[in-house]
């Protein structure tokens, strides 16, 4: 196997591991939305990040409730140019609940890995809740919020 092919295989294995216990079926499909969000974050791409939300999607950031794609895009653009520049998102799925054929909730745990760090700093872990909806055959984020785990 060539070096490029081996790197592709390793990359695919790494991304497949991000689905945890939910790699197959509709639960795995639900997780494509949070995992694409992670990919957009890791690329520090505010446009791709915001485009994963439905038009009136919301994201709770600290005490600020962002209520549409443009607000999310603007906030993340500033964040990726500032304190989150070069950061990565680390989350593992804990639970996926299908509420019906087109709405689900995904609960993840992890946090932000700042540029130059290898992991989420101690005491900064969060639990993330994603409400996702299937639109035109693809899962999109309706709402995203995080809460600190412990003190």
Q: Tell me the per-residue pLDDT of 82-101, one tens digit each, with 9 for 90 and over.
A: 999 999 999 999 999 999 99
Q: pTM higher than 0.85, yes or no?
A: yes
Please give the C-alpha separations between residue 41 and each of 6, 9, 26, in angstroms, as whole numbers: 25, 22, 24
**DSSP conformation letters of 5-17:** HHHHHHHHHHHHH
Residue 15 pLDDT level (bands cut at 50, 70, 90) = low
| Residue 1, CB-side half-sphere exposure with 13 Å CA sphere | 8
Assess whether pLDDT exceeds 70 at residue 141: yes
Q: What was the pLDDT predicted at 25?
A: 79
């Amino acid at each position: 196997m060539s070096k490029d092919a081996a790197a592709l295989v390793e990359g695919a294995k790494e991304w497949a591991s991000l689905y945890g216990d939910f790699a197959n079926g509709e639960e795995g499909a639900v997780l494509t939305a949070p995992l694409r969000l992670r990919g957009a974050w890791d690329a520090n791409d505010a446009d791709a990040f915001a485009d994963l939300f439905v038009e009136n999607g919301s994201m709770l950031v600290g005490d600020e409730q962002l209520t549409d794609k443009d607000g999310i895009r603007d906030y993340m653009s500033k964040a990726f140019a500032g304190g989150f520049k070069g950061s990565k998102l680390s989350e593992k799925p804990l639970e996926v609940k299908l509420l019906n054929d087109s709405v689900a909730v995904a609960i993840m745990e992890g946090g932000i890995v700042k540029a130059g760090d290898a992991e989420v700093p101690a005491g900064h872990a969060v639990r993330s809740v994603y409400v996702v909806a299937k639109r035109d055959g693809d899962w999109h984020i309706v709402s995203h919020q995080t809460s600190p785990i412990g003190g």
